[in-house]
Structure 1
């Protein structure tokens, strides 16, 4: 049997049970058929074989991002991006929004994403009045980078039926000034509810998904655990399945049954439909049932057991009572779902652990692999319970790089147990890394860099005792992600018989200076045995290229 593709002369990081590092890999159709020395894999080469000479560079299993928002990432690309280099002030942002209104029919939504008031010269949020000066004919919404807060103009608030007399929703705040007038700022569940009205059209969702897939592949990510988007979760799930089938989405999708808008209603709808986790195939599979328990770590609105370090009166917010959480996710567990929740603060994590423990007591199940998304402040007592219950965690080490300075301000010494990757490894808890993009950067190599170094972008140490080794971080971004979706037997490592999802880097990842990991780039991405990204054309054809 001859191979369709062969990789030679590489630092092949297999992430198998022994963390072997070999020289080459052979691929036939969509499977790996040989892993070993150059001589061993060269036996599979014919005149028709594609040859990739790695020239000492690294070949890894395709990255698995265990928590990102594919739809939101894609639709953000359709609107105004607040992270564009030219946007340094509110006036720069307002200029882009004005330009967008000129291109958009009246009555249609104008959206901006990735806003961070700390990055603006003015160091403040815009107001409803600011946005009304841009247009009152278009509904305008600016979404903060955390995706837990937004600022809306009068037209947007009118469409969402939000007035001075509207009561704050549970788990949310409609901000008002001292006179009781709306400021335009919507926090947590108030923000989520706006997107019952500010949701995207089906055409916009399809376009966004295709754009997101392209950028995900360029980042070396071959599988994603999609953590949900805005709007009707059932519609988004249907459109995502169709996009995978039509190949507009080329990465593998493990679709978490969760929505940023009314997540519990989406879960209930899926339960009534008789769907359970695991339904699907190698391209698209139904994941766990998910709800939100608290807010944003950098908002900050997460639910903590002790007050924030910068505000002794603030303990964050919760979306549900313990009984409500037990009922919603307990029913999902009983009917066969893997269950999970967004839980950032230690109080929220404790609530979710209580919920899982309660569900397993009532309806025991082996190998459930119930999850916690983020698990921001995970103190030792909570880690002990995670281990006992067999929970899988999806932490976001890149948060420490992007938000580390604010975490030191908001949480003080608690940074030593935030996204504690070292503790998880030492305790034997499976932790699958995710980016939470577009909340932060998509790049898995930046996530690995952050996990290995535990420094903020400004160079501050943020919980150094939680540093991990490069090989450990790679495993958390590959095999652990496969385990979190019950797919470790078919992907997540470079082994004979597994899916040919592979990524080539432009350096030797195990030899590079650890402070420079973030500078390493993806050179090639293969999904299902097909090269989908090869900007430098490193693939060559046939045996003559061995000379």
Structure 2
């Protein structure tokens, strides 16, 4: 067998059982056919084989982001960005919203995303009245970066049937002024329910999915675990399948059965329909059934066992009672689903572990790989239960980089057990990293940087005892993600017989200063043996002729 493509002279981080670092990889069609030294892969070269000289750069398995929101990430790109470089104030946002209104037919939604009040000179939310000054003929909504809170104008509230007489939904808050009038701010489930009315058209969904897929590939992400979107979950799920089939979405998708709007309805619909987790192929596969149990770590609205450090009167928001959680996810487990939930605070994590324990006691199942999305404050007693129950955890190390200073303020010493990657590795708990994009930055290299350094963007150390090694962080972004979706036999490491999903970096990740990992770049992304992203003409620059092929410079 001769290879179509051979990489040589590289730092090939295999993430196999021995974490071997070798020189060379040979690819035939969509599979890896040889891994080892330059001399070991030479036998797979013919006159037609392309040879790429990595010149010491790192070759990795394609990154697997185990928790992001594909549809939301993509549709955000259709709206007004509050994280654009020129946004420094509310007035900057208002200016962009006015321009968007001018280009949008009256009556259609105008949306802004990525809003973070602490990054603006005013350090506050806009008011409903300020948004009304922009337009009362367009429904306008500004979505906070956490995707758990928004601010809406009068037209948007009217369309969503939110009036002064409206009651707070369970697990949500419709904020009011002292006189009872609406501020326009919607928190947690009130925010989620707005998107029953602010949903996107199918054409917008498809366009957004295509844009998101392209951005993922540029970041070296070859597989994603999609954690759900706003609106009607089943319809978004259908559109996503169509987008994969038509190659609008080129990354591999493990589609979690969850929605930010009425997730329990979507879960029930899918559980009753008959298919179970794992159904599909290597392009699109059905994932676990998922609920929301609590709120945002930076809201803060997560459900904690002890009050927030900055507010002794607040312990967060719970979406479901223990009985409701047990009933909905317990039924999904009984019918063959992998189950999971968004659970950030220790109180929410405890409830989910109670649910999983009860489900397994009533209907035992080997190798269930039930998950916890985020698991923000994972105290030692909860870690022990995770280990005993065989739970897979999906933490978000990049949160420590983006929100670390706020976490210290909100949770005090509890930051030492927030997204505790070191503890998970020491205890043998498999943790697969996710970005939660667009809640925060997509870049897996930034996530690896955050897990290795545990410093905020402002330089604060945030639970530094939880720092892990570079190769451990790479595993959490590759093989562990494959394990979390029952796909570790086909991807997640560079081994013979596995899918040729590969990423080339611009330097050696094992040699670069740890504080500089965040500045590294992806130069090439390959999915299924096809190069889908190639920066700076990497392929042309790195091609070498057969006579120059080195004889033997093994790094094993």
Q: How does the TM-score come out when normalised to structure 2?
A: 0.98
> Which aligned runs of 4 or more in structure 1 are off by greater than 6 angstroms?
none
Equivalent residue, structure 2, for 1:92: 92
C-alpha distance in structure 2 between counterparts of 1:50 and 1:228, whole Å: 40
C-alpha distance in structure 1 between counterparts of 2:301 and 2:332, whole Å: 26
> Any idea what SS the aligned residue of 1:526 has?
strand
C-alpha distance in structure 2 between counterparts of 1:508 and 1:287, whole Å: 34
Q: How does the TM-score come out when normalised to structure 1?
A: 0.99
Equivalent residue, structure 2, for 1:361: 361
Residue correspondence of structure 1 range 429-448 to structure 2 within 5 A: 429-448=429-448
Equivalent residue, structure 1, for 2:52: 52
Equivalent residue, structure 2, for 1:496: 496
Equivalent pair of 2:176/2:182 in contact (CA under 8 Å): yes
Equivalent pair of 1:504/1:522 in contact (CA under 8 Å): yes
Quick check: 1:546 aligned with 2:548?
yes
C-alpha distance in structure 1 between counterparts of 2:360 and 2:44, whole Å: 49
Equivalent pair of 1:209/1:240 in contact (CA under 8 Å): yes
C-alpha distance in structure 1 between counterparts of 2:130 and 2:43, whole Å: 67
C-alpha distance in structure 2 between counterparts of 1:101 and 1:484, whole Å: 43
C-alpha distance in structure 2 between counterparts of 1:360 and 1:33, whole Å: 40
C-alpha distance in structure 1 between counterparts of 2:513 and 2:143, whole Å: 37
C-alpha distance in structure 2 between counterparts of 1:545 and 1:70, whole Å: 45
State the aligned residue count: 547
Equivalent residue, structure 1, for 2:27: 27
Measured after TM superposition, the shift of residue 538 of structure 1 is 2.1
C-alpha distance in structure 1 between counterparts of 2:51 and 2:156, whole Å: 55
C-alpha distance in structure 2 between counterparts of 1:291 and 1:200, whole Å: 22
Residue correspondence of structure 1 range 233-382 to structure 2 within 5 A: 233-382=233-382
C-alpha distance in structure 1 between counterparts of 2:42 and 2:192, whole Å: 55
> Any idea what SS the aligned residue of 1:431 has?
coil
Measured after TM superposition, the shift of residue 49 of structure 1 is 1.8
- 1:542–1:55 CA distance, 2 compared to 1 (3 A): closer
> Any idea what SS the aligned residue of 1:168 has?
coil
- 1:283–1:545 CA distance, 2 compared to 1 (3 A): farther
Equivalent pair of 1:343/1:374 in contact (CA under 8 Å): yes
> Any idea what SS the aligned residue of 2:488 has?
coil
C-alpha distance in structure 1 between counterparts of 2:390 and 2:234, whole Å: 29
> Any idea what SS the aligned residue of 1:305 has?
coil
> Any idea what SS the aligned residue of 1:210 has?
helix
Measured after TM superposition, the shift of residue 543 of structure 1 is 3.9
Equivalent residue, structure 2, for 1:400: 400
> Any idea what SS the aligned residue of 2:448 has?
helix
Equivalent residue, structure 1, for 2:519: 519
C-alpha distance in structure 1 between counterparts of 2:132 and 2:196, whole Å: 21
Task: Provide structure 1 residue ranges, at least 5 long, that are not aligned to the other structure.
Answer: none
Equivalent pair of 2:404/2:462 in contact (CA under 8 Å): yes
What is the RMSD of the two structures over their aligned residues, measured on CA atoms? 0.8
Measured after TM superposition, the shift of residue 48 of structure 1 is 2.1
Deviations, residues 269-310 of structure 1 (Å, cap 9, x unaligned)? 001110100000000000000000000000000000000000
Equivalent pair of 1:224/1:252 in contact (CA under 8 Å): yes
Measured after TM superposition, the shift of residue 542 of structure 1 is 7.1
Task: Provide structure 2 residue ranges, at least 5 long, that are not aligned to the other structure.
Answer: 550-556
Equivalent pair of 2:53/2:544 in contact (CA under 8 Å): no
Deviations, residues 393-422 of structure 1 (Å, cap 9, x unaligned)? 000000000000000000000000000000
Deviations, residues 152-178 of structure 1 (Å, cap 9, x unaligned)? 000000000000000000000000000
C-alpha distance in structure 2 between counterparts of 1:245 and 1:545, whole Å: 42
Equivalent residue, structure 2, for 1:160: 160
Equivalent pair of 1:65/1:225 in contact (CA under 8 Å): yes
Deviations, residues 134-153 of structure 1 (Å, cap 9, x unaligned)? 00000000000000000000
Measured after TM superposition, the shift of residue 545 of structure 1 is 7.4
Measured after TM superposition, the shift of residue 544 of structure 1 is 4.3
